[in-house]
Amino acid sequence: MTAPSANAPILFFDSGLGGLTVLGPTRALLPTAPIVYAADYAGLPYGEKSDAELAARVPALLGRLVERYQPRLAVIACNTASTIALAHVRAALDLPIVGTVPAIKPAAEMTQSGVIGVLGTEATVRQPYVDDLSAKFASDKIVLRHGSPALVAAAENKLNGREVNAAAAERAIAGLRRQPGGDAMDVIVLACTHFPLLAAELQAAAGPDVRLIDGSAGIARRIAHLTQGQPWPAEAAPGVAVFTRSDTNPPPPIAALAPYGIGRIETI
């Protein structure tokens, strides 16, 4: 396989701004990597869409993005899109694809009580993929699940500089706690890339004895491994954020994206 150009970007894809939690640790490992961050604001929120709709939408949109930006690798930085559409994307596109899946394996290794919470979108927590991960890595544990679309909206509000309702985090934690075994839960898997943006609010609601875990660092290491030995620019350049056009979800201010190395915004 021919080595990519040094200027070939890494493409990060999410329904909204949650994938920035994957972009951040990737930037730390690959500081000069060219970046294209794509957010499907026209389709936000994914957690309320049907599996069939996402299985068609995500590969089609990623195909347009790959044609336009010619990335060396694409990252589906969205648990919902990954658990539903990852296989479809890999079948449709001829480049490496990195998905995002709930960090149930490390959570199972971390828990002392044997009770794990999985907090995600409604679409993610109902997926057979989560059943399979639980059976494979946490068969001797209690795995509780709760879907919270309100947390996605709260995370978007936080990055856009709008007020965050702490009650959304409290309700999400309560949704896990009230299930059988919930009082003993000591690890919570943040199974939506939006949710680490609310780590402070979720930690306050869960209490100091509960550890929060997500898969962003592992995904960044996977990206670095797959691109090992490839050429990179000598210096970092500002990345681009691409948003699908939406009448109800305008792109955020560039100041919200600048800490992640984004220097300009485009729409498609």
**Catalytic member of 33, 78, 81, 190:** 78
Q: Positive or negative CA dihedral for 176, 180, 186, 187? A: negative
Q: Are 90 and 240 in contact (CB under 8 A)?
A: no
Among this protein's residues, is 192 annotated catalytic? yes
Torsion of the alpha carbons at 102, 146, 48 and 165, rounded to the nearest 10? -100
H or E segment at 14? strand 10-14
Q: What are phi and psi of 26, to 5 degrees?
A: -70, -40
Among this protein's residues, is 161 annotated catalytic? no
Q: Are 233 and 6 in contact (CB under 8 A)?
A: yes
SS (H, E, C) 189-213: EECCCCHHHHHHHHHHHHCCCCEEE
**Catalytic member of 103, 133, 192, 202:** 192
* H helices present in 1-78, as ranges: 20-29, 51-69
Query: Which amino acids are annotated catalytic?
Result: 78, 192
